[in-house]
A = this chain, B = another copy of it.
Amino acid sequence: MARFRKTLGWISVAAVTLALGGSAVAGGNPAAGDLRSFPWRAKNVILVIGDGMGDSEITLARNYTVGAAGELALDRLPYTGQMTTFSVQETDPSIPDYTSESASTASAWSTGQKTADGRISTSPSTDQDLTTFLEIAQDRGMKTGVVSTADITDATNAAAMSHVAARGCQGPADMASCPQDAKENGGPGSIAEQAIDHEVDVLLGGGLSRFEQTITGGPDAGLTVLDSAAAKGYEFVGTRDDLLASDGTKLLGLFTPSHMSVDWAGAVAANPPSGPQRCTEDQRPANEPSLAEMTTKAIEALTHRSRAGFFLQVESASIDKRDHVSQPCEQIGETVALDEAIAVVLEFARTSPGTLVIVTADHAHTSQITEVDAAPAGFSSILLTDEGGEMLVTYGTGSTPEGQQHTGSQVRVAAAGPQGWKVVGLIDQTELFDIMERAIGAS
């Protein structure tokens, strides 16, 4: 790809940003709080994904909460660029698919290679397992963690820690679409099984039901995935209280049968527009932790009595899921939940300057802000923002409120810390793999 050549040209800038890291020019101690200053190598990598969080979704959340001129935590990352998110066709991988989804996109940054929609870190057409950054990090002795508000076996998370032909193959009983991956057929098993077999140190999110299924092949046949995890030394937590009380370092936290609950509520978009409305906050059940709490706990677990670095992937999944169903309040609430997790991550990075932080999205989505007196073709709602403005949010990529689609726009990518400057300019999603790999010195 022609664009990849550009990155090489940045070596001159790299030399200078290195100089900045240890230089008096910065006017301070680079180890004490500047997200731009850093050592050359990253000890830790934290990749934060807003699923479906295009620039429009970011702007919506900013406008509603801190105001159009305000600053979210995600706005504080010093390096910014744009990122392409296309996938490729299964039957002819030389032809792009201009509108991708979470499996192909997460596979792209997890493996550095493009694949087809629905695939989990396997190659298009040939169905080969592609080495993931998580595996590389583990090989180098780093601890690893995956945190998400979705099923922990959902696509974005799955691509970090497993290889299957179809994203639906989440538990041992879900293998109809990828029999070749089933353990009884010599495969690595479902996504849930692979997460445990990979011994990812920290797994926090939804999706308990997948882990209650019974393993059908291999040495753990007859056990549930939960039993298998216990045998491998995982501590299981199932509620917010249990999570907050835990000091485990090999932690499996599954708080809901499938996706976790959303934080906010409000009226669905309609035609003519619903509202004007204010969103209802604080809707998350008390037994479910927030994404920020899970992120805090994951970092604690990954650093507790450990001098090894870590790789942590954090996802707010339901920005996407609530955008699909034209729910502006729920979508904004999940963006805010992500932003609170980003604040946690940035505070850790500020005091641990060997931490590369990347914040981006897997793909863009439907929601748009338009004139309050417009008559959009789709489904809309007028929100009354905290600063007293009126904002019309509209959803028009599907013919029903429940049927909205991903969009193919390039998305924002932002970074802080070692090698973070490499996201400046235009990159492709596969380059995140290269950036993370180089940051830990693995290439």
Contact = CB atoms under 8 A, between A and B. Distances in A.
B377 A69 contact: no
Interface string A1-23: 11100100001110111011001
Q: How many copies of this chain does one complex carry?
A: 2
A81 B84 contact: no
A234 interface: no
B25 A95 contact: no
Interface in A95-149: 95-99
Contact of A70 (B3, B387, B389): B3
Interface residues on A, range: 35 or more
Contacts of A28: 12
A374 interface: yes
A113 to B, nearest CB: 13
A405 B374 contact: yes
A365 to B, nearest CB: 9
A396 B399 contact: no
Contacts of A37: 12
Interface stretch (A289-297, A300-308, A332-340, A408-416): A408-416
A63 B408 contact: yes
A15 B6 contact: no
Which of A54, A97, A378, A409 is packed against the most chain B CB atoms within 10 Å? A409
A68 B84 contact: yes
Interface of A: 1-3, 6, 11-13, 15-17, 19-20, 23, 25-28, 34, 36-37, 54-56, 58-59, 62-63, 66-71, 75-82, 84, 86, 95-99, 271, 364, 366, 368-372, 374-379, 385, 387-392, 394-399, 403, 405-412, 424-426, 428
Top 6 nearest A-B pairs (CB, nearest first) are A396-B396, A369-B408, A377-B378, A56-B409, A1-B69, A68-B86
